[in-house]
Structure 1
Amino acid sequence: MNRLRYIPFITWFSLLALANAQSSDESLTAQRQAFRLSENLRSTVAEATPEERSSSIENNQKTLTSGKYVVTQSWSQEKKYPRPYYVNVPKSRTLESTDKHNRFPVFIFLHGNGGNARSAMQGFMRRHEKMVNRYILVFAQGYQKSWNIVSERSKADDRGFIETIVQTLATFKNVAPDDFSIMGNSNGAALVNQMAIETTLPHIRNYITGVSQLNAWQHDGEHFKAKGDQNQYHAVAAPMKGKRLMNISGTEDKLVPYHGG
């Protein structure tokens, strides 16, 4: 059976742990620990209002620019609903920030339950200047400030939402299509776990989860499970091989115990 590879490494990811401090279900203890570790569904890209957005996606535009973008989705709660995500592109290129084709890697951040993308973006960019200068940063907004995993307010296809973002951004000439990383905090981390288990996109190299190990829905102790349309987690999943996963948790966390439970 295919298994996700948990790689025990301390890299710059540990410095990014839980950068969004807006979530209602986050653990302060785990934050401190982390920083110490140094429908049938159509998804299309639509243009937001000029006031909300500093750039647009046009067929003849091949360079990604900073601004607000949206993915339009329909599901049981909404029809043709514009779901926003926010992009920040480094202002200049350096040998350290781009590959040999002058393309930037992409880092996607998913907020926790009760959080929001704009606050996450502001806090993250304020704290992590090197990331701002070296990565295209993406902050996606969960419907009703949540991600649909088990019983959250959102019933949207969040995996489809994130996959559409990845596939869209990968088409731009200043984006490295095979160098995406995705990190989530708490409820957002659970969506990162779902992505790691279910997605077949080749673009994402690194999966980082903060304060959310695999839960009993996503892994029953023997098998990985796919969420399914009704969040029943009946089908056994076979994750792609070679994915790199890092989990950051706090040993003193009482809400999400370090050793599970």
Structure 2
Amino acid sequence: MMTVVRYLPLIAAFTVLQAGAATIVAETMQRPEGPRTYLLAQPASPAAGKLPLVILLHGHMGSANLTLGKGRIDDPAAAWLDVADREGLLVIAPDGARGSDNQRGWNDCRADAPSNPKTDDVGFIAALIDQAVAQHNADPSRVYLSGMSNGGGMVYRAATELGPRLAAVAVSNMLMPVKNLCAAPKRALPMLVAHGTEDKIVPYAGGEVGHSLLTGRGSNISAEESVKYWRDLAQLPPAPAVTQVPHRDAGDKTSLVRYVWGDDPKGVQVEFLKMEHAGHVQPSAAHRLPPLMLSILGKQNGDLEYADETWTFFKDKRVAP
């Protein structure tokens, strides 16, 4: 049975973090594998009625704190706090479980990533949705999932196993696995994929995931093949609408091209945000990674906030009847 523990203000273990006007509450959920932790961000002035819910999944070696800008670096995902206040969203950032390498991550579908945890992360995400609907007025028809890197791999798995509960999903800096533990998805979903052509961790052309510091992280198909997989599942026409995102900084050698299949923003669309010359990092103008990290991950584009791009893709979509 699922139990959620909310730490009260008089208890030392309770944490309320302020980021702008959004209130972030640290919570713990009891699961069969043990306690699981997450952060819940609530807008200061939520709109009347039920609230859209966005769940953000961090990458391998990440955390919920890092996702919402409370870690060692200014993560681009922290821009979701501004979106939450502006649009009246609930945002949940859960912590992954520790794998055999003692790093937090997710039990995605890569059969050749032995360091992944073995936890029931699909069940955990489903329980988070149930909890948000039951206690925080989340709209069950407006549940959205976005993940980065290993978190993006978990989004692919959730899109397969929780598809009927999700209105739309987004994946950045992760591609579909070569060796798949999971059944093939049978349900088309609105899908946004963002990937850098010079990603040093998850190669754009496919192949082994990793870096000199990472081993045993599996292998993926290419970016184009990953996008085509979901486009074919949705039976969308092969010709996309193509938009060059306006460039902000002449000194920024990266650029963004947006490809969209499907012309109905309320229907099943597939978007590919191709990050030319960018690496293993989400675009952001306001949240920039330090040079040392970029020397490992590759260049960061600054032409838009990835959170804004994702919410624009999500906002009109609802769970299919």
TM-score for the superposition, normalised by structure 1: 0.62
Amino acid at match of 2:201: L
1:191 aligns with 2:150: no
In the alignment, does 2:55 pair up with 1:102? no
Shift of 1:146: 1.3
Q: Indicate how the Cα distance of structure 1 residues 130 and 217 shifts in structure 2: closer, same or farther if over 3 A, else same.
A: same
Is 1:257 matched up with 2:221?
A: no
* Deviations 1:120-152 (CA, angstroms, capped at 9, x unpaired): 112457534531312111100011211123422
CA contact (8 A) 1:196 1:239 kept: no
Aligned to 1:212: 174
After superposition, what is the alpha-carbon deviation per residue over 1:88-146, rounded to whole angstroms, capped at 9, x for unaligned?
110103xxxx4xx6222111111111111112112457534531312111100011211
Task: Return the letter of the residue paired with 2:49.
Answer: N
Contact 2:3 / 2:31 at 8 angstroms: preserved in 1?
A: no
Corresponding residue number in structure 1 for 2:25: 67
The residue number in structure 1 matching 2:40 is 87
Q: Counterpart of 2:60?
A: 113
CA offset at residue 257 of structure 1?
A: 2.2
* Unaligned 5+ runs, structure 1: 1-41, 56-64, 76-80, 219-224, 227-235
Q: Structure 2 regions of 5+ residues with no counterpart?
A: 17-22, 70-74, 99-103, 208-321
RMSD: 2.4
Residue pair 1:198, 1:239 contacting (<8 A) in 2 also:
no
Change (3 A) 1:184 1:53: same
Per the alignment, do residues 119 and 238 of structure 1 end up closer, same or farther by CA in structure 2, a change over 3 Å counting? Answer: closer
CA separation in 2, counterparts of 1:48 and 1:155?
26
State how far apart, in whole Å, the 2-side matches of 1:88 and 1:128 are: 9
1:47, 1:256 → 2: CA distance? Answer: 36
Q: How many residues align?
A: 182
- 1:238 to partner: Cα distance: 4.0
Matched, 1:136 2:136: no
Deviations 1:193-225 (A, max 9, x none): 10011225x33211111111111133xxxxxx6
Partners of 2:161 and 2:5 in 1: how far apart? 29
TM-score (norm 2): 0.51
Q: Structure 2 CA distance, aligned partners of 1:198 and 1:46?
A: 23
Deviates further, 150-159 or 191-200: 150-159
Deviation per residue, 1:223-250 (Å, 9 max, x gap): xx62xxxxxxxxx434323x11111100
Alignment partner of 1:203 is 2:203: no
How far, CA to CA, are the matches of 2:169 and 2:78 in structure 1? 22
Structure 1 runs of 4+ aligned residues shifted over 6 Å read none
- Counterpart position of 1:9: none
Deviations 1:6-33 (A, max 9, x none): xxxxxxxxxxxxxxxxxxxxxxxxxxxx
Report if the CA contact (8 A) 1:71-1:83 is conserved.
yes
Paired amino acid for 1:72: Q
Do 2:24 and 2:40's aligned partners in 1 also have CA atoms closer than 8 Å?
A: yes
**Larger Rg belongs to:** 2
Identity %: 24
C-alpha distance in 2 between matches for 1:142 and 1:110: 8
* Paired residues of 2:159 and 2:185 also in contact (CA < 8 A): no
Once the two structures are TM-superposed, the CA of residue 256 in structure 1 deviates from its matched residue by: 1.7
Larger RCO: 1 or 2 (CA < 8 Å, sep 6+): 1
